[in-house]
């Protein structure tokens, strides 16, 4: 996925799901969670939701051992629902995923959940809440001394929302700070825009 080969990533993940033993296992949960995420990124939301629900079933069968995979797939499912017919249903999933990730010390998963919560809040027409959630998360990562990466990623993400509500000075400051960090990929695009 990261290399930009969506077709190859989908094929590899589908093949992995096909050859993995059908019994519930952390490995199967991880494969399905990654496949659901890839399908979500590709915009194949029905396929992503179906795969995410299957992954959640597997994580439940595995219990605490598959907590990272459960958190990951909850965020993916929430994003799919956020862009679907009932975007409000995404918020409890994202908040639960963020809380569970925080409790488990899974910073990447926590960041992914809170960043997507802001996206869903913006989709729901609640930009002020999206900004508040993001700023609270930025303060939290600053307190954890993780601001260079996660704070800048969150700042680059929220800059567009700040522009939309007319808070241009804050958007500019966050974008410049994120660009000083020299991001690559989507964080760079978000910050530069």
pLDDT at site 156: 81
pLDDT at site 150: 81
The answer on pLDDT for 183 being more than 60 is no
Q: Using 50, 70 and 90 to split pLDDT, how confident is the model at 3?
A: low
Report the distance separating Cα 75 and Cα 80, nearest Å. 9
The answer on pLDDT for 192 being more than 90 is no
Report the distance separating Cα 103 and Cα 68, nearest Å. 11
- HEC profile for 10-56? HHHHHHHHHHCCCCCCHHHHHHHHHHHHHHHHCCCHHHHHHHHHHHH
69-121: pLDDT as tens digits:
999 999 999 999 999 999 999 999 999 999 999 999 999 999 999 999 999 99
* Helix 67-82 and helix 26-41, axial crossing angle in degrees, nearest 10: 20
* Other C-beta atoms lying within 10 Å of the C-beta of residue 148: 13
Helix (H, G, I), strand (E, B) or coil at 153: helix
pTM: predicted TM-score of the whole model, two decimal places: 0.84
pLDDT at site 190: 53
Site of tokens 């249903």? 89
Report the distance separating Cα 31 and Cα 57, nearest Å. 13
Query: Region 14-27: what's the mean pLDDT?
Result: 77
């Amino acid at each position: 996925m990261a290399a930009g080969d969506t077709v190859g990533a989908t094929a590899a993940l589908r093949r992995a799901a096909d050859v993995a033993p059908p019994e519930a296992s952390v490995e199967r949960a991880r494969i399905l969670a990654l496949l659901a995420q890839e399908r979500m990124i590709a915009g194949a939301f029905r396929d992503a939701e179906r795969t995410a629900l299957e992954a959640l079933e597997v994580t439940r069968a595995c219990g605490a051992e598959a907590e990272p995979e459960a958190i990951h797939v909850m965020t993916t499912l929430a994003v799919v629902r956020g862009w679907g017919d009932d975007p409000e249903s995404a918020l409890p999933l994202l908040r639960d995923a963020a809380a569970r990730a925080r409790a488990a010390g899974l910073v990447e998963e926590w960041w992914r959940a809170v960043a997507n919560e802001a996206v869903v809040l913006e989709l729901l027409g609640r930009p002020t809440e999206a900004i508040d959630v993001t700023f609270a998360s930025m303060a939290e990562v600053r307190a954890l001394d993780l601001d260079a990466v996660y704070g800048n990623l969150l700042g680059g993400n929220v800059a567009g929302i700040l522009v939309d509500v007319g808070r241009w000075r804050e958007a500019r400051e966050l974008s410049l700070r994120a660009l000083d960090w020299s991001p690559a990929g989507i964080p760079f695009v978000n910050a530069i825009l």
